[in-house]
Structure 1
């Protein structure tokens, strides 16, 4: 790595981690630095204790006057522990308990007791989880033990007030810290859940947008490519006939050009028809994308009832190429239930794309379309779609053709897989020994349930 020299025999130096990682060292030192709240509590607590000591305001006046300035020692210790109330738990709590015991023995200052209650509160709120869970039960047990012990020693009802005082010093701040900590944990969990929900929503949105873009790409390709392919084929034929007409006219001035004009007129007629149909389909798609209810009625999806019209357009587009088109529909509409709309649409698009590919790439011969209901694996009958066409090797060299991008096969496969079906597209052996291209799709009529 540039600017870095490492030796395989180099030995780690002491404190290399602290020196080699300035950000980590700063984090460790920042954890030892007192928080602003701790500094303020320590300063105000010590100042208040000094005022109380100066005026002789002790919790136990007789004992406090006897010890005098010694009471400032527990006060200073408790105030120093307040500096580590966030970062040094539970050690500061143990030191504060020892200082509080010494404060009670020497007469006690109210400032020491108040600062100690904050130490207990901070131990539950900022300390480790195990310490936070243990402080409240220990505080309750200590309060009960102190109350029962004082009643057993003095046997006076007034000792109950000392039990209440002990509960105010230990139980109340511990319980308050536990409540606030639980609320903070709940808030953090809700924030995390909200972030996860937002992330999942964003992932769902991205997936939905991707799926919608793929669906739009399939629709645009399946709807428009058929018409544009016919336009490309016949425009090429018209241009070739026009150029051939000019060359032959120059070579044979006496030859009539009526057949060439007629063929060119037929090609231009097919071009116009497919252009108009493609424009209409494009407008339908644009209206569907903008608002599916623009004209008051939702757009209808193509069905298998339109396969005959597809074949008629294919025959018109294949004029002069030597292609013939046949349809074998073995379904019985009277005895079979209607197919779901997604299945009909997918089957229609498979036939449409297969006919488009046949116009682009097939040679002379017959393009056969077969539709039937097949029962597979004991389940409900599936719709089987099979389209076979001659391979490109039998195509005339002078026949017009249109380039392909391969997106049609991808779109067909996506449509079939979305319905849980199977698709095969590839060469097969024909009945007469010649090679043929086959597209075979099996579309389940009932939805497949994943285990």
Structure 2
């Protein structure tokens, strides 16, 4: 036979353990007081005798719902207390009532918590004044104090503890929000750092690896018995391999917690625009794209002293553009132009320095099929497609703008590929 599961009350109805303990302790204490005849009003209590156990039982039953059944439990407890006082009263019933008042403030609705303490004060004052008016004896002040101890004291204690709990909950929520914001900042910082490292790795290492791929492809395609061209290609491959390893060593040094010194300074050195001649010379010396020439042109002192972030971004834009030209461009001239910065950098002329404009143009290969439809040319070396993304990120981080795409050339309308980056160099530009 299948085993029958016991019926369990839902959590909202099931009495809490504390309520059960209070009810059992109150019932046991009341029975002891009744057994020995220890009434608060002995004359009246002896008359009612066992009838006093009824208000005690009702009060203990109401204590079972002290957490989950407010404010109805409080209403039943007030009625039970009134009956208990009328019959001579047991101290255990009054003590359980104080716990019900305390629980009503602590666990009851917010409106009940706010109104119960003022109501207790009003009831205590009314009872005290009513007894004094009826008996005109100073001893009634003691009854008023007893009434205040039964109502005001537990209500005030519940208010204090509830306020502390609310303050603690608010502090926990604030701490959780702060921890969440800190985690979001950490994730954003890690993401930004990973993006910066990805740009550096792509711009530094991918450039040399692309040159290696181009020249190794050219070396493998040579069928001439003369090994001079092959030797030249292998020389270029070796030079780019060594330079790639050196750049990788520099990046690894940046990622480590290196101490100060000449070695650390060497590792953290960034390329400058003064190295553009060497960059173009390396591209010019290869045989990976026959018929491709390189030209470097400055205007208006664009090689003047620039902020380090601007100079690094300009160098990386040129480096990536030259690498793409080696992969994709047709025979012709790749022109690198630096425009727009005054010879003194704008510091001595009284004018704000204008943006540095980096412009790299290269001839486009004819990518149209016989039907006149454009098709994507196969690159001379594989790429990740992240070059333009990295360039745009570098430029936008400095508050500049980047445009890359086909444009009409000035020589007979020949189509060219143009990369144009504008980098602000004034002191207020983002760094």
**Normalised by the size of structure 2, how large is the TM-score?**
0.87
1:438 aligns with 2:418: yes
CA distance in 2, matches of 1:379, 1:46: 89
RMSD of the TM alignment (CA)? 2.5
Aligned length: 401
Which residue in 2 is equivalent to 1:9? none
How far residue 445 of structure 1 moved from its aligned partner, in angstroms, is: 2.7
Which residue in 1 is equivalent to 2:216? 235
CA distance in 2, matches of 1:331, 1:318: 33
Which residue in 1 is equivalent to 2:358? 385
CA distance in 2, matches of 1:379, 1:105: 94
Higher helix share: 1
1:369 aligns with 2:336: yes
CA distance in 2, matches of 1:412, 1:79: 77
Matched-pair contact (CA < 8 Å) for 1:89–1:127: yes
> Closer, same or farther in 2 for the Cα pair 1:400/1:179, shift >3 Å?
closer
Q: Secondary structure of the equivalent of 1:317?
A: coil
What do residues 375-425 of structure 1 show as CA deviations (whole Å, max 9, x unaligned)?
9xx98622211110011239xxxx992222311111111212222221111
CA distance in 2, matches of 1:340, 1:166: 80
Match of 1:276 among 242, 248, 251: 242
Which residue in 2 is equivalent to 1:328? 297
Equivalent runs, 1:371-450 vs 2, <5 Å:
371-373=338-340, 381-393=354-366, 401-432=380-411, 433-446=413-426, 447=428
> Closer, same or farther in 2 for the Cα pair 1:300/1:152, shift >3 Å?
farther
CA distance in 1, matches of 2:205, 2:165: 59
CA distance in 2, matches of 1:271, 1:45: 93
Matched-pair contact (CA < 8 Å) for 2:212–2:237: yes
How far residue 150 of structure 1 moved from its aligned partner, in angstroms, is: 2.2
Which residue in 1 is equivalent to 2:370? none
How far residue 289 of structure 1 moved from its aligned partner, in angstroms, is: 1.1
State which drifts further: 299-308 or 276-285. 299-308
What do residues 294-343 of structure 1 show as CA deviations (whole Å, max 9, x unaligned)?
63436122222222222222212357611111122224369x7x433222
CA distance in 2, matches of 1:194, 1:102: 49
> Closer, same or farther in 2 for the Cα pair 1:421/1:400, shift >3 Å?
closer
1:59 aligns with 2:40: yes
Matched-pair contact (CA < 8 Å) for 1:292–1:299: no
1:186 aligns with 2:137: no
What do residues 7-64 of structure 1 show as CA deviations (whole Å, max 9, x unaligned)?
xxxxxxxxxxxxxxxxxx97x8221111121112111211211111121111111122
Equivalent runs, 1:68-107 vs 2, <5 Å:
68-107=49-88
Match of 2:206 among 202, 206, 225: 225
CA distance in 2, matches of 1:379, 1:178: 65
1:175 aligns with 2:144: no
Match of 1:287 among 247, 250, 253: 253
> Closer, same or farther in 2 for the Cα pair 1:240/1:310, shift >3 Å?
same
**Normalised by the size of structure 1, how large is the TM-score?**
0.83
Which residue in 1 is equivalent to 2:283? 314
Matched-pair contact (CA < 8 Å) for 1:420–1:443: yes
Provide structure 2 residue ranges, at least 5 long, that are not aligned to the other structure. Answer: 1-6, 343-350, 368-377
CA distance in 1, matches of 2:264, 2:387: 32
Provide structure 1 residue ranges, at least 5 long, that are not aligned to the other structure. Answer: 1-24, 246-256
How far residue 176 of structure 1 moved from its aligned partner, in angstroms, is: 1.1
